[in-house]
């Protein structure tokens, strides 16, 4: 009973804090409200039943996380509690909230107000579906190298030797550059942080450079896999000359980008992604020890990607339906959009 009473006091105190509105500002979705409500409900049941029922380790960790406003840890504990429950009466509840807790939107990590929209961060442990992700042998080799070098980078840091575990991915749109970066974060067990250059660009002189600096400062102080997506939006080739004011500003932004890049510690895994390697600044490109072209999938690879996705969700497509999805395109996004459309029509026919 002492454990339950202590837990109840922790939650009650947290909920009664003067800055409750700020402290619980993340509680704006059904699963987040459920997390707090279910935590309090667990404590009440334990207090009612006395010594006959005690808190499990998962429940204690979830209570502690909710009280300390550690939503990421609370979600992990909630998933662990769901996994522990083998009762038939709770099966529908467990399935529903496991799916909600592992959906892509639920994995987003709250960011400081000055970084919102500029830097997006998520927990891939909650959102990335490895059983659905098709990876080629070449991509597997690249991933293994990046993960291996993350250990080497730590050793080099101890020797005070600067080294950037940085890989520049280039290739046409729809070849899986962003998803590959998520895969690396998932395998490494780190948050996935995505610098949104379209949001970072500001019309005010110097504001874009400040936005980029803020994002890099966050990445440097929070171990993560840091993706610089569509870097061609701001990193221009200065050797081609820049006469107008806008071009000069982009040139200054490119310099800021490289300066902030150089300040990153060894333990940050950096991936850059671009569709236009040809227009990137050569000095910026040189900062990536590894450059890797992401090629469109072959027909066989596209079929394997679709079949792996379908196998994980428990649906079967005919060969004609699969070929219809991959026909006349090598864009992975387009292929999966077609697959989901066919799947939606199948489900609609079952309802």
Phi, psi of 242 (to 5 degrees): -140, 105
CA-atom Rg of the chain in angstroms: 24
SS3 3: helix
Q: What is the pLDDT of residue 106?
A: 47
Dihedral sign, Cα of residue 156, residue 158, residue 161, residue 165:
positive
Residue intervals of the chain classified under CATH 3.40.50.300 are 113-293
* Separation of alpha carbons 348 and 161, rounded Å: 58
188-225 b/e with 16+ CB inside 10 Å = b? bebbbbbbbbeebbeeeeeebbebbebbbebbbeebbb
The residues near 338 (Cβ < 8 Å, ≥ 6 apart) are: 324, 325, 326
User: How high is the pLDDT of residue 326?
Assistant: 95
Spatial separation of the C-alpha atoms in residues 111 and 118, rounded to whole Å: 10
Rounded-to-integer distance, Cα 272 and Cα 283, Å: 14
**What is the C-alpha separation between 168 and 166, in angstroms, rounded?**
7
Q: Model pTM?
A: 0.69
pLDDT per residue rounded down to tens, the chain (351 residues)? 445 555 555 555 544 443 443 334 344 444 455 555 666 666 565 555 554 557 788 888 878 877 765 666 777 788 788 887 778 788 888 887 777 676 654 455 666 666 767 888 888 888 899 999 999 999 999 999 999 999 898 888 888 888 899 999 999 999 999 999 999 999 998 999 988 777 777 655 578 888 889 899 989 888 899 999 988 877 665 555 555 556 677 788 889 899 999 999 888 999 999 999 998 989 999 999 999 999 999 999 999 999 999 999 999 999 999 999 999 888 999 999 999 999 999 999 886
What does the pLDDT read at residue 125? 84
Instruction: For 113-293, give the CATH class.
Output: alpha beta
Structure-block tokens of residue 11? 């939650």
């Amino acid at each position: 009973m002492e454990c339950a009473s202590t837990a109840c006091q922790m939650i009650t105190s947290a909920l009664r804090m003067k800055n409750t509105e700020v402290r619980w500002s993340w509680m704006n979705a059904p699963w987040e409200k459920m997390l707090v409500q279910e935590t309090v409900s667990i404590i009440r049941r334990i207090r009612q039943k006395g010594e006959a029922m005690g808190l499990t380790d998962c429940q204690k960790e979830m209570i502690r996380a909710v009280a300390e406003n550690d939503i990421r840890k609370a979600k992990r504990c909630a998933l662990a509690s769901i996994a522990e429950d083998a009762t038939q009466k709770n099966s529908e509840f467990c399935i529903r909230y496991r799916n909600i807790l592992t959906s892509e939107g639920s994995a987003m990590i709250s960011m400081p107000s000055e970084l919102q929209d500029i830097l997006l961060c998520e927990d891939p442990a909650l959102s990335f579906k490895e059983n659905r992700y098709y990876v080629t042998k070449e991509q597997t080799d690249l991933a293994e190298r990046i993960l291996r070098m993350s250990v080497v980078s730590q050793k080099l840091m101890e020797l005070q030797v600067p080294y950037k575990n940085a890989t520049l991915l280039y290739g046409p749109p729809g070849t899986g550059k962003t998803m590959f970066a998520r895969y690396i974060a998932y395998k490494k067990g780190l948050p996935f942080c995505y610098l949104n250059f379209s949001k970072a660009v500001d019309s005010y002189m110097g504001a874009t450079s400040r936005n980029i600096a803020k994002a890099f400062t966050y990445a440097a102080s929070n171990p993560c896999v840091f993706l610089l997506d569509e870097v061609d939006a701001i990193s221009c080739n200065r050797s081609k000359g820049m006469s107008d004011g806008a071009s000069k500003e982009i040139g200054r932004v490119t310099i800021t980008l490289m300066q902030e890049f150089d300040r990153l510690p060894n333990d940050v895994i950096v991936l850059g992604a671009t569709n236009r390697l040809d227009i990137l600044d050569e000095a910026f490109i040189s900062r990536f020890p590894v450059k890797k072209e992401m090629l469109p999938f072959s027909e066989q690879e596209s079929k394997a990607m679709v079949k792996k996705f379908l196998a994980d969700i428990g649906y079967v497509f005919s060969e004609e339906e699969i070929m219809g999805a991959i026909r006349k395109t090598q864009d992975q996004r387009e292929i999966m959009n077609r697959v989901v459309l066919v799947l939606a029509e199948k489900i609609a026919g079952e309802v």
